[in-house]
A and B are shown apart, each in its own frame.
Chain A
Amino acid sequence: MKSRTIKVDYLARVEGEGALLVKIKGNTLADVKLKIFEPPRFFEAFLRGRRYSEAPDITARICGICPIAYQMSAVHAMEDAFDVQVQGPLRELRRLLYCGEWIESHTLHVYMLHAPDFLGFQDAIQLAREHPAVVQRGLKLKKSGNEIVTLLGGREIHPVNVRVGGFYRVPTRKELEPLLEQMKWARDAALETVRWSAQLPFPEFEQDYTFVSLRHPDEYPFNEGRLVSNRGLDISVHDYDDYFTEEQVAHSNALHSVLKPGTPYFVGPLARYSLNFDRLSPVAQEAARSAGLGSECRNPFKSIIVRSVEILQACDEAIRIIEGYQRPDRPDVPIQPGAARGYACTEAPRGTLYHRYRIDESGTIREAKIVPPTSQNQKTIEQDLRHFVAGHLDDSQDELRWRCEQAIRNYDPCISCATHFLKLDIERE
């Protein structure tokens, strides 16, 4: 047999895989299945046998976009186990750190991933060509979030300054002050972002969701609160496992989370906003109203406006914290480890992130469970796609793929490549 050798020199890449199977019978939709490649959660095994104090640094490596969320859920779960309260300026600094992450993560999604969809651009590069000032504003806004994380966390990605009980070092007032001017600019830019995102063209797509998020007596939720839903759920995070469960489904190697016995539910900005509108700062509430939002939002495409409102909320909160900051005498609260179980939920930009640990008397982790927001939303994403595809059966394959990708992007999912990632199989009978 004759053969020919083709030079390729191609570097293999690890990529997230998304595949959507759509079955159409005649003119009706028969089935929609979303397959997401979710690697096994080896992190839960890495943690076994490690010191309780290593959990924030190990789990931070799970995500480069939202390491703070992992650190915060880890430290709060450990403090819950050892019955420690972190209050005052240390608690405020943690909220400030979370503000930084929300600003950078949300801004990245709003400007780089989501907005191009609405404006008919393939990506942010095309968007930048047509609207350079908009993209520059986005980049500068994102940078202001990164700077908070760098200052408090020691570096932008996988920060190293968070510990169980507080921080390794806390900044002086003088060190925080330069952030103030920048955050005031960021607050204005966030307000512009809300106005700008509100004018994008949105499809009519109101859905009847079960929203779940944390709720705190007087704050928009970051690190603390009870888990509530719009269907009457109101529980302590200690009871998470009694109400929520993860199921395996045959068509995907990603687990599906459900509210027992089997209700899909929705975590993230839309849920937080709809359950906590009354906890937003006045400036964020007013911006949301001016943008045409009510006190709840059930159109996932409008999550871009809600994310922008949350950026504004985070900027406003950051300014409040920086202005009132008094450096504490010590950077952490002493910890006495012992045999215990600890539970925590915090609000990652993408939604509620649950950690549970079992620690032995020497302070060694014996068991760890981590439930990230994307996996909790899988079933709801699939349900949304089913409703969405049903209205677009006559679209071409490429058009339908792009629309489905856009519908998935509404959730800001943790798919390593959430840009053009979807393999679409349409079976017509």
Chain B
Amino acid sequence: MHEASLMKDLMRKIEGVAREQNASRVLGISVRLGALSHMSASHFREHFAVASRGSVAEGARLRIEVLSDMNDPHALEILLENVEIAE
């Protein structure tokens, strides 16, 4: 259930970036899922599809990198690396 809260936070950030850039659409996002973040790529896709429905990021391409290093200082985290916006 905490994924819903994480996704909400992520969507807030993505929509904020789009607003700052005056972009009407987000075409893609890149995320890195830490080895201990409790998220697989397919899990993330599913949640993103639900969380982004009706937003500027609906249908955005997802580039998901799943990390395997449990000792990485960000192993627990989900990192939004970049957001691709329509010009």
Contact = CB atoms under 8 A, between A and B. Distances in A.
Interface of A: 1-17, 37, 39-40, 42
B67 interface: no
Contacts of A12: 6-7, 9-10, 13, 77-80
A310 B47 CA distance: 44
Contacts of A8: 13, 17, 80-83
Contact of B82 (A1, A6, A11, A42): A6
Most buried by A among B5, B21, B81: B5
A13 B79 CA distance: 10
A42 B1 CA distance: 10
A3 B85 contact: yes
B2 A39 contact: yes
A5 B60 CA distance: 13
B58 interface: no
B27 interface: yes
B46 interface: no
B83 A5 contact: yes
Contact of B17 (A3, A6, A11, A16): A6
5 contacts: A1-B86, A4-B84, A9-B80, A13-B6, A15-B8
A46 to B, nearest CB: 14
Contacts of B7: 12
B82 to A, nearest CB: 5
A204 to B, nearest CB: 37
Contacts of B6: 12-14
B74 interface: yes
Contact of A11 (B1, B21, B77, B84): B77
B21 A6 contact: yes
B1 A1 contact: no
Nearest to A10: B80
A7 B9 contact: no
B78 A5 contact: no
Interface in B7-38: 7-10, 13, 17, 21, 27-28
Contacts of B17: 6, 8
Nearest to B3: A14
Contacts of A39: 1-2, 5
Given A10-B79, A11-B77, A12-B80, A4 B9 contact: no
Contact of A2 (B28, B83, B86): B86
A379 to B, nearest CB: 22
Nearest to A11: B77
B1 A7 contact: no
A265 to B, nearest CB: 27
Nearest to A13: B9
Contacts of B74: 11
Closest 8 CB pairs of A and B: A2-B87, A12-B78, A10-B80, A12-B10, A39-B1, A14-B5, A5-B84, A12-B6
Given A17-B5, A39-B1, 20 more contacts: A1-B27, A4-B21, A5-B82, A7-B81, A8-B81, A10-B79, A11-B74, A11-B78, A11-B80, A12-B7, A12-B10, A13-B6, A13-B9, A14-B5, A15-B9, A16-B5, A37-B4, A37-B5, A39-B2, A39-B5
